[in-house]
Amino acid sequence: MFMVVDDLKKIDIATGSEADKLAATIKNALDKKHLLVIIGRCSVDYEGRGKSRLESGDRIVIVKQDGSVLVHRPVGFAPVNWQPGSARITIRVTGGRGLELVSVRASPREILRVVFEDVYIVIVGFGLSDAGEFTMYVDEEELKNIIEKEPSLVEEGLRIVEREYRIGDFYVDFYAKDKMNNDVLIEVKDEKAGVGSVVQLYKYLLEAQRRNMKVRGILVSVGFSREAAMLAEKLGIKRVEINPKEIYAKYIEEKRTGEKSLERFFSGKNDN
């Protein structure tokens, strides 16, 4: 087969039956710490903490920029063999068409050997940049659900009286009472709170005080800007910083148990 490939960005391709040329391409990619994807027919041996042999078949082998090696079969979520990024990788030509990729990990001592009988394609990704942040998060709505169910996350002894509480033209996230039975207005932010958030809550508090409520404010957020923290301090607004990971864990927990009880409900197995 013959193919003209146009408009290629950040990608190089090598094909053909000349193992030494493929090896050179791979070696160069490894040296420069480029992303490497090899699709071909290979067998794999591993020995270290365990010991395995994978007989010959078509596989996709990925070597990442940090040296992680993944051997994937054409089906299944999990790699059949792998090696973490700390290992040293070598490539060499064996016989005529053969190509052998070996990854040796120092501690624990582990060796992964991929022997290619036939390489269909070598793909090199160079200049790939991935700075995108990865977050497992709860959005503001869910965060408020969690707080409504567990107000003690905000303050010990707190009881929610009303959610989306209206004061004049405004809506505040929660109207609550603390353990001294005093009124509290609570505003929740799922992002780092700035001065604007403090001002917003302060306006609610002023409006409430105009209506003769004796009320204090709590601003709940994953974080506060320096300015927001200072302003809140000055205005007597309490800051409660929540731990996103902790909240996320609670959210997952809720979700799981919620689904469980829902399943039981629909299958008529609820024991009410």
In the window 61-90, what residues touch its own copies (CB under 8 A)?
Answer: 62, 64-66, 68, 70, 72-77, 80, 82, 84-85
Determine the interface stretch with its own copies among 157-165, 208-216, 232-240, 246-254 (rule: CB under 8 A): 246-254
- Contact of 85 with 64, CB cutoff 8 Å: yes
Determine the interface stretch with its own copies among 120-128, 164-172, 186-194, 221-229 (rule: CB under 8 A): 120-128
Kindly give the pairing relationship between strand 159-167 and strand 170-177.
Answer: antiparallel
Determine the interface stretch with DNA among 21-29, 46-54, 118-126, 203-211 (rule: CB under 7 A): 46-54
* Residues constituting the chain: 272
SS3 at position 222: coil
- String marking each residue 123-162 x if it binds DNA according to CB under 7 A: -------------x--------------------------
31 interacts with its own copies by CB under 8 A: no
- Contact of 174 with 147, CB cutoff 8 Å: yes
48 interacts with DNA by CB under 7 A: yes
SS3 at position 151: helix
Which of 90, 95, 102, 134 has the alpha carbon at shortest distance from 117? Answer: 95
Which of 56, 55, 45 has the alpha carbon at shortest distance from 101? Answer: 45
255 interacts with its own copies by CB under 8 A: yes
DSSP 71-91: EE-SS-SS-SEEE-TTSEEEE
| CA separation for the pair 32, 107 (Å, rounded) | 24
Site for DNA in 208-227 (CB under 7 A): none
Residue 266: name its binding partner from its own copies, DNA, none (Cβ under 5 to 8 Å by kind). none
Q: Smallest distance from the beta carbon of 259 to its own copies, in angstroms? A: 7
- Contact of 115 with 44, CB cutoff 8 Å: yes
141 interacts with its own copies by CB under 8 A: no
Q: Which residues bind DNA (CB under 7 A)?
A: 46, 48-50, 52, 76-78, 80-84, 105, 107, 110, 112, 136, 249, 252, 263
